[in-house]
């Protein structure tokens, strides 16, 4: 690991923030916080924080010693000064004299001493930062350090490697108690350059932003060099079938098995994010996967995103998806039963005060295929995927030098069911389509607006269009995926739906919207034109619906088909047969799907859209159609 400090960039940060009235300490604190936040080997998704002790003026014009510390909700990679709320240092330091302090009281004290009442909550590790004397303090959950300390003899390994340069702090859950013990460890040997937190992470400090940051890089690099002394081949490969099914084939099965069924309501569904780097495959293909993968999270706060244990399922043999589905169902059942027992056991130990979270896994390991991160949104699924990949790295390196051994579950329950996290969950907004995957065909005016509406309601959205650029543009607006697809070509459609399954894990909603209008007096229309219109305005609807339904059946959680039909299907206009005839057939197609798949919970509906200015209903088309119906353009519209 190399230092990314750059004098020119640091100076530019000073100039830019200086122009906004931000002091030098904060400007450089922002600069090196970003350097740390941008390296996934140091921090991932909120794991880590930084601080600087400086002076700040309140609204009365009085100047105070403050600690500007990372606030909750700020992303270190993109942090701005607002993400480092200033808290009066004096009162925080006085708290060290207390014997005990609840998490709620700690948060209350921190908020009471903010200079800005609207600032985000200072990090839960604020007191640890405040009790240390150094101006700049950096904290990360560096992968290499975790591989070193997540060992039965992790403390001894860290002592030997750092040779007195780092204090070693035993594991205590983040909060007041940890801050006190860390400060005591520091006081015993005040010349240390940082602290190793057993089974948690690393702190470094310094008088300047550069010193604290470069110490972080140096100490993590030392851990990395120690790991390089490990075995080059860590995992012996286990038995795999000759050919395994693809991620796209199995993702809907996994998604379906992990969905939570609720009588009379939509199931709780998850989005799945697939990962298959060589390191991931090496890990999931290991003969001992069931051992090393099930020992728990690499650092406590991952548990909120990944739960303590991933779900492990057997390798899916190509062509035997039914067997795989049965095995997955059984594995999920076991996982849920074990989670329920864990919760009951640990909740009883704390007096039965906790509200149970859903028992579903957030990471699925599939030998021969890779891993899947699960989340209620695509973003949450990606975070679970990132943390799972990081876990693969940490455990691989830990096993290379010894035996991976993280914290016992009793220590982790406190984090998973931490009162402050439980409070956050209670405030979470679930949108009507949260957890659902929608596919929209046609990236014109109606398709784009539909994609936006679905994404606004929480769905992960894929847009298919014959014009790949148009699909990509419509998808960009909704943070979805755009796929080039000619819906009249069954091969194209199959590939597009496979891509959606590989990206989001399946399909719950299909808006079959792509279409085009052909006109002509029915007796004069060449067969070729009529057949072309039937290809797009009827057969393509059938092709996409068939693909979507096949995936929905694999998931077993129902779904919805929505066909954009046309007024022409029920109220045909003169000389518009080439358009209206296939649309009328599509209306019956919609009914047929309702009849044939309603019992599977798949709804089928259509919209006879009309008078929507779009790529299809252009000014010329309006002129032609109003003339055909013998009304004015205004009257027609
Ligand atoms: Zn931490």
- At 515-557, the pLDDT tens digits run 999 999 999 999 999 999 999 999 999 999 999 999 999 999 9
Question: If pLDDT is split at 50, 70 and 90, which confidence band does 428 have?
Answer: confident
Cα 450 to ligand 1 centroid, rounded to whole Å: 42
SS3 373: strand
Distance CA 358, CA 332 (A): 13
Name the phi and psi angles at 268, rounded to 5: -80, 115
Find out whether 556 and 501 touch, Cβ atoms under 8 Å. Answer: no
Residue 637, pLDDT score: 87
Over range 66-75, report the average pLDDT. Answer: 92
Question: If pLDDT is split at 50, 70 and 90, which confidence band does 625 have?
Answer: confident
Cα 173 to ligand 1 centroid, rounded to whole Å: 9
The residues, any chain, with a CB within 8 Å of residue 615's CB and separated by 6 or more, are 444, 445
Distinct helix (H) and strand (E) counts, the chain: 25, 19
Q: Residue 610: is its pLDDT beyond 90?
A: no
Q: Residue 479: is its pLDDT beyond 80?
A: yes
Over range 383-410, report the average pLDDT. Answer: 96
Q: Which element (helix H / strand E) includes 335?
A: helix 321-349
Cα 141 to ligand 1 centroid, rounded to whole Å: 6
- pLDDT (tens digit per residue) in 173-198: 889 999 999 999 999 999 999 999 99
For residues 629 and 373, the model is more confident at 373
Cα 529 to ligand 1 centroid, rounded to whole Å: 66
Over range 410-430, report the average pLDDT. Answer: 79
Cα 139 to ligand 1 centroid, rounded to whole Å: 7
Residue 617, pLDDT score: 83
Residue 611, pLDDT score: 81
Any idea what DSSP says for residue 230?
S
Cα 94 to ligand 1 centroid, rounded to whole Å: 22
Cα 347 to ligand 1 centroid, rounded to whole Å: 24
Cα 503 to ligand 1 centroid, rounded to whole Å: 31
Q: How far is CA 170 from each of CA 149, 192, 350, 630, rounded to the nearest angstrom?
A: 10, 16, 22, 85
Distance CA 290, CA 412 (A): 20
Cα 614 to ligand 1 centroid, rounded to whole Å: 52
Concatenate the DSSP letters of all residues of 425-478 into one string. Answer: HHT----TTTT-EEEEE--SHHHHHHHHHHHHTT-EEEEEESSHHHHHHHHHTT
Q: How far is CA 27 from each of CA 140, 211, 261, 359, 517, rounded to the nearest angstrom?
A: 20, 15, 50, 43, 59
Burial 26-45 (b: 16+ CB within 10 A, else e): bbbbbbbbbbbbebebbbbb
- pLDDT (tens digit per residue) in 589-599: 999 999 999 99
Cα 47 to ligand 1 centroid, rounded to whole Å: 6
Q: What percent of the chain is modeled with pLDDT above 90?
A: 88
Q: Residue 154: is its pLDDT beyond 90?
A: yes
Over range 83-106, report the average pLDDT. Answer: 95
Q: Residue 234: is its pLDDT beyond 70?
A: yes
Cα 199 to ligand 1 centroid, rounded to whole Å: 10
Any idea which residue has 């060449």 for tokens? 526
Q: How far is CA 227 from each of CA 194, 231, 625, rounded to the nearest angstrom?
A: 20, 9, 73
Cα 229 to ligand 1 centroid, rounded to whole Å: 27
Cα 156 to ligand 1 centroid, rounded to whole Å: 21
Read off the pTM. Answer: 0.93
Distance CA 209, CA 562 (A): 56
Over range 19-29, report the average pLDDT. Answer: 96
Find out whether 626 and 521 touch, Cβ atoms under 8 Å. Answer: no
Distance CA 37, CA 565 (A): 49
- pLDDT (tens digit per residue) in 286-297: 999 999 999 999
Over range 324-331, report the average pLDDT. Answer: 98
- pLDDT (tens digit per residue) in 97-124: 999 999 889 999 999 999 999 999 999 8
Kindly provide the residue ranges of all beta strands, DSSP E only, lying in 186-336, ordered along the sequence: 194-197, 201-206, 260-262, 265-268, 271-275, 311-312
Question: If pLDDT is split at 50, 70 and 90, which confidence band does 137 have?
Answer: very high
Q: Residue 335: is its pLDDT beyond 90?
A: yes
Q: Is residue 579 among the annotated active site residues?
A: yes
**CB atoms inside a 10 Å sphere around CB 523:** 6
Catalytic residue, from 17, 292, 579, 593: name it: 579
Q: Residue 45: is its pLDDT beyond 90?
A: no
Residue 616, pLDDT score: 77
Question: If pLDDT is split at 50, 70 and 90, which confidence band does 613 have?
Answer: confident
Find out whether 146 and 390 touch, Cβ atoms under 8 Å. Answer: no
Distance CA 237, CA 192 (A): 42
β-strand pairing of 63-69 with 86-88: antiparallel
Q: Residue 283: is its pLDDT beyond 80?
A: yes
Cα 516 to ligand 1 centroid, rounded to whole Å: 56
Kindly provide the residue ranges of all beta strands, DSSP E only, lying in 474-568, ordered along the sequence: 481-484, 509-512, 559-564
Question: If pLDDT is split at 50, 70 and 90, which confidence band does 264 have?
Answer: confident
Distance CA 76, CA 83 (A): 8
Cα 200 to ligand 1 centroid, rounded to whole Å: 6
- pLDDT (tens digit per residue) in 353-368: 898 999 999 999 999 9
Mean pLDDT lowest among 216-230, 342-356, 357-371, 547-561: 342-356
Q: Residue 410: is its pLDDT beyond 90?
A: no
Q: Residue 425: is its pLDDT beyond 70?
A: no
Closest C-alpha to 137, from 149, 128, 146, 145? 128
CA 213 to centroid of chain Cα atoms: 28
Q: Residue 409: is its pLDDT beyond 80?
A: yes
CB burial of residue 432 (10 Å; 0-12, 13-18, 19+): exposed
Q: Which element (helix H / strand E) includes 69?
A: strand 63-69
Please give the angle made by the CA atoms of 277, 278 and 284, to the nearest 5 degrees: 90
Residue 424, pLDDT score: 67
Q: What average pLDDT does the structure give for the chain?
A: 95
């Amino acid at each position: 690991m190399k230092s990314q400090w750059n004098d020119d960039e640091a100076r530019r940060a000073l100039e830019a923030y200086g122009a906004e009235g931000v002091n030098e300490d904060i400007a450089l604190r922002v600069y090196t916080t970003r350097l740390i936040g941008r390296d996934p080997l140091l921090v991932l998704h909120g794991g880590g924080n930084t601080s600087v002790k400086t002076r700040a003026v309140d609204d009365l014009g009085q100047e105070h010693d403050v600690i500007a510390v990372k606030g909750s909700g700020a992303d270190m990679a993109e942090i701005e000064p607002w993400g480092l709320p200033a808290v009066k240092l004096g009162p925080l330091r006085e708290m060290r004299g207390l014997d005990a302090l609840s998490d709620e009281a700690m948060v209350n004290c921190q908020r009471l001493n903010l200079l800005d009442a609207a600032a985000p909550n200072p990090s839960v590790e604020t007191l640890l930062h405040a009790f240390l004397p150094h101006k700049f303090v950096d904290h990360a959950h560096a992968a290499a350090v975790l591989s070193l300390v997540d060992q039965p003899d992790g403390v001894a390994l860290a002592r030997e490697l750092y040779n007195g340069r780092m204090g070693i702090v035993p594991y205590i859950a983040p909060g007041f108690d940890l801050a006190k013990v860390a400060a005591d460890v520091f006081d015993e040997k005040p010349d240390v350059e940082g602290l190793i937190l057993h089974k948690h992470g690393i702190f470094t400090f310094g008088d300047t932003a550069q010193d604290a940051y470069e110490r972080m890089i140096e100490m993590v690099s030392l851990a990395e060099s120690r790991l390089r002394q490990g075995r080059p081949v860590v995992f012996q490969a286990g038995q795999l079938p000759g050919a395994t099914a693809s991620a796209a084939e199995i993702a809907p099965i996994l998604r379906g098995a992990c969905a939570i069924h609720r009588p009379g309501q939509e199931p709780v569904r998850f989005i799945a994010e697939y990962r298959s780097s060589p390191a991931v495959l090496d890990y999931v293909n290991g003969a001992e996967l069931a051992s090393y993968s099930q020992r728990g999270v690499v650092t406590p706060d991952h548990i909120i995103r990944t739960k303590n244990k991933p779900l492990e399922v057997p390798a899916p043999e190509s062509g035997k998806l039914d067997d795989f589905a049965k095995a997955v169902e059984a594995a999920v059942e076991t996982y849920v039963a074990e989670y329920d027992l864990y919760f009951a056991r640990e909740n009883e130990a704390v007096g039965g005060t906790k509200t149970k979270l859903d028992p579903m896994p957030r990471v699925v390991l599939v030998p021969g295929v890779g891993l899947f991160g699960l989340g209620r949104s695509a973003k949450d699924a990606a975070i679970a995927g990132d943390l799972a990949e990081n876990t693969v790295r940490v455990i691989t390196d830990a096993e290379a030098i010894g035996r991976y051994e993280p914290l016992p579950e009793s220590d982790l329950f406190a984090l998973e069911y931490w009162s402050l996290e439980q409070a956050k969950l209670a405030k979470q907004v679930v949108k009507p389509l949260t957890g659902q995957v929608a596919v929209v065909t046609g990236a014109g005016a109606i398709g784009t607006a539909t994609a936006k509406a679905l994404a606004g309601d929480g769905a992960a959205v894929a847009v298919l269009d014959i014009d790949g650029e148009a699909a990509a543009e419509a998808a960009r607006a909704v943070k979805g995926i755009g796929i080039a697809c000619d819906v009249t070509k069954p091969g194209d459609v199959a590939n597009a739906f496979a891509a959606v399954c590989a990206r989001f894990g399946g399909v719950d909603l299909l808006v079959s919207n792509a279409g085009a209008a052909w006109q002509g007096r029915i007796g004069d229309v060449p067969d070729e034109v009529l057949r072309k219109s039937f290809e797009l305005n009827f057969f393509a609807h059938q092709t996409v619906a068939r693909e979507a339904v096949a995936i929905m059946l694999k998931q077993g959680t129902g779904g919805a088909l929505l066909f954009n039909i046309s007024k022409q299907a029920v109220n045909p206009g003169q000389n518009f047969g080439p358009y209206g005839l296939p649309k009328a057939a599509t209306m019956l197609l919609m009914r047929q799907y309702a009849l044939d798949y309603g019992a599977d919970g798949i709804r089928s509906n259509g919209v006879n859209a009309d008078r929507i200015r779009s790529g299809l209903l252009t000014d010329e088309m309006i002129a032609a159609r109003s003339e055909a119906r013998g009304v004015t353009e205004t009257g027609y519209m």
